[in-house]
Structure 1
Amino acid sequence: MSTVTRTELVLPAAGLGPENPLPPLLRTEPAASVSNVDELPADLAANLSYGRLDTVLPCRMQDGYGRDRAEQRLPALVLENERLRATVLPGLGGRLYSLLDKETGRDLVYRNPVFQPANLALRDAWFAGGVEWNLGSTGHTTLTCAPMFAAEAPGPGGEPVLRLWEWERTRDLPYQLDFWLPDGSRQLFVGVRIRNPHAHDVPVYWWSNTAVAQTPGTRVLAPAGKAWHYGYSGRLELVDVTGDLTYPARATAAADYFFEVDGPPWIAAVDAHGHGLGQASTARLRGRKLFVWGESAGGRRWQEWLAPGAGGYLEIQAGLARTQLEHRRLPAGASWDWLESYGPVAADPEIAHGPDWPAALASVAAGLPAAEELDRRWREWRASADAAPGELLAAGSGWGALETRRMLVDLPGTPFPESSLGAAQQPWLDLLDGVAPRAEPAAEPPETLVNRHWADLLEAVPDKGWLTWYHRGIARWAAGDREGAAAAWHRSVEAEPNGWAWRNLAVAQDDPVRAAQYYRQATDLLPKLAPLAVEAVTAQLAAGDPGAARELLEPWPAEGRFALLRARISLALGDLDGAREVYERGFTVPGIREGETSLSDVWHAISPGPLPAEYDFRMKTGGGAG
């Protein structure tokens, strides 16, 4: 019988650092859009227009990490039988970090030798490797670098299940992951359940993203003859699944390919010898995708940035919709679940890499669980999905306990213990009792809850303090009431001067000159807050005032994003030598965003020479959503 054990991973790791206390009123990058919606099938077009998020509120950004790595111990949970060993990181979104084939000694997923956050997720911090479970909205989940609850639970036939669960805050949805490894099985099964405990429909997005090693001979196969290609052009275009498309090492640029799956859904990546990983599922998880970084300078730079010293990787992914630009509608009170399988593939290499596509598919599919077996396993797992988990092996956040207390809802199988409630939830527990939030203006405000229930409580509480108005403004903003939000923040600074509301007013301001003024008022009151300084300096440049930008930047060290801002200020002042000196001295921006071209833009404005490789993160020659 399989076993569940606790352990630790010891590897070079960069600390996540503190969360950014400034509420993310706007997305750090525009949400992906499609320019040719009118050309698409009706169901696809409808899903594209539904459920998009303009902000990740109530979550905060995770942008406090750096690039300095030191040996750390990361809590891990291991589920294994005599054939497979699955290692899961409960403190990092339940990532399936490793899936070791004990018979061959091969790791079936791409195992990153370091933990290095980078700016690719909805909340910024993301790391490459393994299998990531994405619930929320288009992009990498807000929970990818956050803790989940974990415990052993009784599974089918009394076999142990490793259960992880949490509360996804942008959609207010509880979900669970049940890792199940039957005795003697060469397949790891993962049961996924998403529940909507609300009296209204909720947009749902789910993609299971699997990283696998990319070799020159790696081929990706899925039962499809067509695929939707999406790139930086903003178009979704239906293309043939040809030989070159299925060999990621031949890609010259980043690319997303969403397969039009015909038949039972699965996807696999096999090397030149026919060995690799296969992922299959029950029918609800219909979408399949291939993502490649491409062999451009920027693509290679990004892979080295995410996994220093390791080889390249690609991703094979599975989702609820046919593309990652869509959301599905989860009805009020409904629950969706499905079963996924992950295991080794050993196909005849001549057939798997041959020109006969149907034969290649058949050679790989023969090593995957049949649809009938998956359906049977799914039914067996569903019968135990409500079973109470045992002693906690890892603790998640207190937000699920807070929401279930407010809603008075019971969620069998995924208890959110009262013991998880902490300081972050206390102001909102007080609000349930009619007590308004209190804090000193110089202190970091608590996170703001923005769903309509908390917003109503904020509006109803009889209080005129600065913090109540600050929270009201954020909740109004999240609901789309921009004028009401600005009015609340003005009331906040009138009640008591505070930099937090001034900063929000700056973000809300369309006039760049007025926004720059509001930022200066915010920094006068919060002079030591680095994320605010970055925003404020950037705003002065946008307002055409590099002198004010230089003055605000003066107290900060010439490193990271501040170094890039120094180069930009020098450029704006006409001091090309000063800007070039910043680049020549060398700097690193840990939070450079996928698709961001600021490093190359400034360089080409100050130098006729080729862009140094360490600053080349350009990805716009081809496309890709990651």
Structure 2
Amino acid sequence: MSTTVRTAVLTLPAAPLGPENPLPPLSAPQDVHGPGAGLPDDLPPDMARQVRHGRLRSLLPVRRRDDYGRKRVPTDVTAIVVENDRLRATVLPEFGGRVHSLLHKPTGRSLLYTNPVLQPAGYALNGAWFSGGIEWNTGATGHGPLATAPLHAARLPAPDGGEMLRLWEWERLRDLPFQVDLWLPDGSDFLYAGVRVRNPHDRPVPVYWWSNAAVPEDARTRILAPADAAWSYGRERTLRRVPVPAHDGADHTYLLAGERSGDHFYDLPDGERRWVAALDGDGHGLVQTSTDLLRGRKLYAWGTAPADRRRQEWLTEPGTGGYAEVQAGLTRTQLEHVPLEAGGEFAWLEAYGPLTADPGRIHGPDWAAARAEAAGRLQAVLPRAAVDAAYAAWRPYADHAPKETLATGSGWGALEAERSGRELPGTPFPASALGDQQRPWQELLHTGVLTEDGRDPGPSLVSPHWRELLEAAEPGPYASYHLGVAQWHAGDRSQAVRSWECALRDGLDWPALRCLAAADRAAGHHERAADRYAAAARAARTGGATPAALTALTREAACALLAAGRADDAARIVEGVPAPARAHGRFRLLNARILLARGDAAGARAVFDEGFDVDDLQEGERTLADVWYAVAERLVAGPGPVTAEVRARARERHPLPARYDHLA
């Protein structure tokens, strides 16, 4: 069978993504992946530099995705199938180019964990993310902002004369284009992925890349990599060097050996072949290998703690088997970013396929023998030289123009191509991809005027090029508003406030008020922030803001009013949201906070007892647990003070129910 690339349709139970949050994310992103407890003394100097390099100040210009739900309905999803007589890879171009499944046809084995549902959860940098398959993470530390976004996709010739699938997009956190080329050589058991990230700018840019493969979780599944040590990173947010395979009384190369979830970044010696494998009790499973530029390898295991098991269940259907992640990246750990010089590129080749090894050696007590067995079997089925040769054969094809479009991504790359006048061989961003979100910026580019006619302002652009155009633009409320966002992103907060004040004076009421309120809150002016948030919410209700804007703004406003000690005002603001929105879990939690702040701890507890799910609870977010225990402490303390003894009794008498014990 010749290798083919064809389109298909999958019907999956899927929860709707909902619209983007139209409020620009002005606060710093929650850093659940950073070195919160500092860096160890034994960290190599280059690692230390890369950990400190390129961390995000904000998510701008990306918008949050937090309006999804948990009610799943059968949904038709566009798929692209890359297939030969040995493998079938099914790709979802509308969801970040995720390789949804990888089937080894001779054995009928699924090499990846394939989630039977599409259930967004708050794990991506900008919110919505889902588990399973192979995802391509770029931008900054964490699951990338394109996890649930469409990518451009096209069919074109592969290096061996067959067909190849190209996926590409303009990643907006770093303003960089990237591509992933997928093909199956004739008769091959391995899916090849040629990856390239380019820097078309005249300045260095920090780059992050980790390819993430989900594999089925089993007590007998062992993760193997050519390493005797790893950098361990867990909930305590400390990075420490540990021996492989065992430390702290457990062999952490087995997926269910540890109690709590955590990362192991394998410290692969220089010159060693780069690979990682997940093999079950019978010695069967997936192996991933690459050319040497992709130096890092990682295991993420969920552990056995009840909260972590609940986190897995949150991402799929009850009764579905669990999974772990084996990953490969540009750096030794995911806490690092590497600079890409102006005009430069990073390019490499990855290969994913089946591996079978002697289970006696794989699961024996001799770690060196176990990894040598896996390395030898890999060398037999896919020699290291063959991967290097495939990379060399692919490199000229990386610049080939796509022949047949199969899916269309965003218009942001087309806008950047129009602004810069640069052509990027192999990854065209055609003008036909431009849409309503890009049109005001096209107008600014060509006329010096920025106008909008929607009910809510569109997305802001914050790079130095666009900020300069905004500074030179004809004065107007939208130009001032977007200039303020760009100035805020650049760290010029006083100028941002002046720009938003100009926008407000020129008639752009609730968007400017909301930005000014966020600036006040960031500066610690909680009372003034509360006043401005309340005014913004009233103006949004009467001024025809979209439901998405009104809902997001109300949530922010209510939280600001609670921070200022104005629970009654927060309650009135929330009452202005339509009843269906108030029934959502985030508003149920907000209602419990308001009741507690008003002195009605029993009423707040009743909200929890009725039961609700906070659909968009973010990874690492403590709000739900914190409110539960604050309610419990007040119930135990009564009218008295909340002492350390009260806190201890509250946790003993009112443990957090399993339903709410996740994501924390």
TM-score, length of structure 1 as denominator length: 0.97
Paired residue for 2:295?
286
Alpha-carbon shift at residue 601 of structure 1 (Å): 2.0
Q: Which moved more, 1:603-612 or 1:106-115?
A: 603-612
Conservation of the 8 A alpha-carbon contact between 1:264 and 1:371? yes
SS of 1:343 mapped into structure 2: strand
Residue 315, structure 1, aligned to residue 336, structure 2: no
Paired residue for 1:517?
531
CA distance in 1, matches of 2:458, 2:591: 32
Whichever residue aligns with residue 545 of structure 1, its letter is R
Q: How does 1:195-344 map to 2 (within 5 A)?
A: 195-243=198-246, 244-262=251-269, 263-309=272-318, 310-344=320-354
Residue 399, structure 1, aligned to residue 412, structure 2: yes
Alpha-carbon shift at residue 515 of structure 1 (Å): 1.3
Paired residue for 1:488?
499
Task: Give CA deviations for 1:401-426 in whole Å, capped at 9, x if unaligned.
Answer: 11011111111111111111111111
Measured on the aligned residues, the alpha-carbon RMSD in Å equals 1.3
Q: How does 1:100-499 map to 2 (within 5 A)?
A: 100-243=103-246, 244-262=251-269, 263-309=272-318, 310-368=320-378, 369-439=382-452, 443-463=455-475, 465-499=476-510
CA distance in 1, matches of 2:28, 2:110: 36
Paired residue for 2:660?
615
Whichever residue aligns with residue 5 of structure 1, its letter is R
The one of 555, 562, 566 aligned to 1:541:
562
Alpha-carbon shift at residue 27 of structure 1 (Å): 3.6
CA distance in 1, matches of 2:198, 2:280: 38
Q: When the two structures are aligned, how many residues end up with a matched partner? A: 617
The one of 527, 532, 555 aligned to 2:553:
532
Conservation of the 8 A alpha-carbon contact between 1:52 and 1:137? yes
CA distance in 2, matches of 1:384, 1:349: 39
Following TM superposition, the consecutive aligned residue runs of length 4 or more in structure 1 with deviations greater than 6 angstroms are: none
TM-score, length of structure 2 as denominator length: 0.91
CA distance in 2, matches of 1:484, 1:254: 43
Conservation of the 8 A alpha-carbon contact between 1:558 and 1:566? no
Alpha-carbon shift at residue 31 of structure 1 (Å): 5.8
Conservation of the 8 A alpha-carbon contact between 1:399 and 1:425? yes
Alpha-carbon shift at residue 136 of structure 1 (Å): 0.4
Conservation of the 8 A alpha-carbon contact between 2:191 and 2:352? yes
CA distance in 1, matches of 2:108, 2:369: 28
CA distance in 1, matches of 2:161, 2:583: 59
Task: Give CA deviations for 1:361-396 in whole Å, capped at 9, x if unaligned.
Answer: 121123322221111111011121111111200001
CA distance in 1, matches of 2:303, 2:518: 36
Alpha-carbon shift at residue 567 of structure 1 (Å): 0.6
The one of 492, 497, 502 aligned to 2:513:
502
Alpha-carbon distance change, 228 to 38 in structure 1, aligned in 2, over 3 angstroms:
closer
SS of 1:280 mapped into structure 2: strand
Alpha-carbon shift at residue 435 of structure 1 (Å): 3.6
Percent of matched pairs sharing the same residue: 50
Paired residue for 1:29?
30
Paired residue for 2:640?
none
Alpha-carbon shift at residue 555 of structure 1 (Å): 3.2
SS of 1:298 mapped into structure 2: helix
Task: Give CA deviations for 1:473-514 in whole Å, capped at 9, x if unaligned.
Answer: 001011111111111111111121511111111111121222
Residue 589, structure 1, aligned to residue 603, structure 2: no
Unaligned runs of 5+ in 1: 620-626
Whichever residue aligns with residue 29 of structure 1, its letter is Q
Paired residue for 1:564?
589
The one of 52, 56, 64 aligned to 1:61:
64
Alpha-carbon shift at residue 284 of structure 1 (Å): 0.2
Unaligned runs of 5+ in 2: 542-546, 633-652
Alpha-carbon distance change, 301 to 31 in structure 1, aligned in 2, over 3 angstroms:
closer
Alpha-carbon shift at residue 30 of structure 1 (Å): 2.9
Conservation of the 8 A alpha-carbon contact between 1:506 and 1:516? yes
Task: Give CA deviations for 1:330-383 in whole Å, capped at 9, x if unaligned.
Answer: 011011100000001111111001111111112112332222111111101112
CA distance in 1, matches of 2:174, 2:101: 29
CA distance in 1, matches of 2:7, 2:28: 37
